[in-house]
């Protein structure tokens, strides 16, 4: 099998930052480790300021982190994609000809709102500190989730969002921050704004963890208790952020409810897709693979959580229903239950009558079978979004469960 070389274009931040930011560590690991499985050698190339068109001629293809708001880079990326296999990672491409692999932000925000609703919260605000591409996506997802629960959403609790035109208002964010976007003073000003809202919400969903930490530190200054006075959630599940003392952040991280983006699996999925393209398989036009994130519940939002033992089964069932598509759920669920891994497995079998692995596999199989019957999505896409690390594992499990291959099942259950 031939060894391929591909470029990984880092266009969202300078390469030096990409290699040191915690959020991207799992992304790097996922790319490197999965590349070795497919006999691919990746080279990380800084594309933050200019597109390296000449250098790319020697590569067999590229995976690109190319922000959609950089028009020049996007145009160059589209031109290159006409000549070599390309996959957009994390940032949706403007061209439908380039396949995209990213995180399901809408599902992640939905998990947070569902969780807060389940804890008894009905007045929930959404905190934004920037106007990046994901800021708008996550704000839209929040508004949608609130509507699904029929919750009232005053404009003051989404102050930077123009509901009529379905977009963020950058000028309003800048005026509120009163300083350079992204600086510590900027985060402090935004945090103070949300913490002192009047009327104040009972919970605040933050667009990312850095803003959540800023709100938690601001709450302490204003003698506001978390979660007793206000619940706070983040998005990213990271423990190191710029501008703030690592000790303060580490303390808050241990109690911050957040969403883990599953970036290792997202990166691995992009490399699997690239491997298929290098072997001659053409992706469908507009191919989009969204990897399911995972809800990480901690004390910052659990004011209404039940502590009695009798809630084990319904609580774990709900957690599995929200996170079954997370391929690392086996490692996370015991932590969520506050138990050792060994004790959790024994307790689960006693409560449910089957092993955790069997229960989870059945949940994933049922979900995958429904997608196969109802949609035209690729089988690889369905396998990955159902929680399977590889298509091979999915195929074996599916055939064992339904006594036929996924292809045969689709033909016999076409609706």
Which helix (DSSP H) or strand (DSSP E) does residue 314 occupy? helix 312-323
Query: What is the per-residue pLDDT across 336-362, written as a single tens digit (0 to 9) for each?
Result: 777 788 888 998 888 888 899 988 988
Q: Is 191 left (phi over 0), alpha (psi -120 to 50) or beta?
A: alpha
Neighbours of 400 (CB within 10 A): 10
Neighbours of 280 (CB within 10 A): 7
- Supply the pLDDT for residue 19: 83
The strand ranges marked E within 66-127 are: 86-89, 100-103, 124-127
pTM, 2 dp: 0.74
Higher per-residue pLDDT: 115 or 246: 115
What is the per-residue burial (b if ≥16 Cβ within 10 Å, else e) of 354-368?
A: eebeebbbebbbebb
Query: What is the per-residue pLDDT across 45-63, written as a single tens digit (0 to 9) for each?
Result: 999 889 999 999 999 999 9
What does DSSP assign to residue 201?
Answer: P
Question: Can you tell me the mean pLDDT for 159-183?
Answer: 68
- Asked whether the predicted pLDDT for residue 67 surpasses 80, the reply is yes
- Supply the pLDDT for residue 414: 67
Distance CA 81, CA 88 (A): 10
Question: Are 47 and 10 in contact, with CB atoms under 8 Å apart?
Answer: yes
Query: What is the per-residue pLDDT across 173-220, written as a single tens digit (0 to 9) for each?
Result: 656 655 666 677 888 888 888 988 888 899 999 999 989 999 998 998
- Asked whether the predicted pLDDT for residue 147 surpasses 50, the reply is yes
* Domains defined for the chain, CATH in brackets: 4-103+263-291 (3.40.50.2300), 105-260 (3.40.50.2300), 306-412 (1.10.10.60)
Q: How distant is the alpha carbon of residue 225 from its chain centre? A: 28
- Asked whether the predicted pLDDT for residue 18 surpasses 90, the reply is no
Distance CA 126, CA 156 (A): 10
What does DSSP assign to residue 281?
Answer: P
Q: What is the mean pLDDT of the chain?
A: 86
Query: What is the per-residue pLDDT across 282-340, written as a single tens digit (0 to 9) for each?
Result: 888 778 999 888 888 888 997 654 444 457 877 788 788 888 888 778 777 887 777 78
């Amino acid at each position: 099998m031939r060894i391929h070389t591909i470029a990984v274009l880092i266009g969202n931040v300078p390469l030096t930052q990409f290699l040191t930011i915690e959020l991207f560590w799992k992304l790097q690991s996922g790319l490197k480790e999965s590349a070795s499985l497919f006999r691919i050698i990746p080279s990380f190339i800084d594309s933050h300021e200019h597109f390296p068109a000449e250098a790319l001629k020697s590569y067999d293809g590229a995976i690109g982190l190319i922000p959609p708001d950089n028009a020049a880079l996007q145009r160059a990326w589209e031109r290159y994609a006409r000549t070599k296999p390309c996959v957009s990672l994390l940032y949706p491409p403007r061209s439908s000809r380039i396949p995209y692999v990213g995180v399901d932000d809408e599902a992640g925000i939905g998990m947070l709102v569902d969780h807060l609703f389940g804890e008894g919260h009905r007045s929930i605000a959404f905190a934004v500190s920037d106007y990046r591409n994901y800021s708008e996506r996550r704000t839209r997802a929040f508004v949608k989730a609130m509507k699904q629960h029929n919750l009232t959403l005053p404009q003051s609790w989404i102050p930077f969002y123009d509901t009529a035109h379905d977009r963020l208002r950058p000028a309003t964010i800048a005026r509120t921050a009163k300083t350079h976007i992204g600086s510590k003073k900027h985060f402090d000003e935004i945090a103070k704004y949300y913490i002192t809202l009047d009327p104040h919400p009972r919970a605040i969903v933050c667009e990312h963890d850095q803003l959540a930490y800023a709100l938690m530190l601001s709450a302490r200054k204003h003698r506001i208790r978390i979660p007793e006075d206000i619940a706070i959630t983040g998005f990213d599940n990271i423990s190191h952020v710029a501008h703030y003392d690592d000790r303060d952040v580490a303390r808050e991280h241990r109690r911050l409810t957040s969403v883990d983006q599953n970036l290792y699996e997202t990166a691995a999925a992009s490399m699997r897709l690239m491997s298929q393209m290098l072997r001659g398989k053409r992706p469908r036009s507009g191919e989009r693979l969204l990897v399911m994130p995972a809800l990480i519940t901690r004390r910052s939002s659990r004011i209404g959580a039940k502590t009695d033992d009798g809630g084990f089964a319904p609580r774990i069932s709900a957690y599995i229903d929200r996170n079954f598509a997370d391929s690392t759920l086996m490692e996370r669920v015991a932590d969520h239950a506050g138990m050792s891994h060994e004790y959790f497995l024994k307790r689960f079998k006693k409560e449910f009558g089957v092993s955790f692995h069997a229960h989870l596999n059945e949940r994933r199989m049922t979900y995958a079978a429904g997608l196969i019957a109802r949609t035209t999505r690729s089988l690889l896409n369905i396998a990955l979004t159902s929680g399977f690390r590889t298509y091979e594992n999915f195929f074996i499990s599916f055939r064992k469960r339904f006594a036929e291959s996924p292809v045969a099942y689709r033909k016999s259950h076409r609706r």
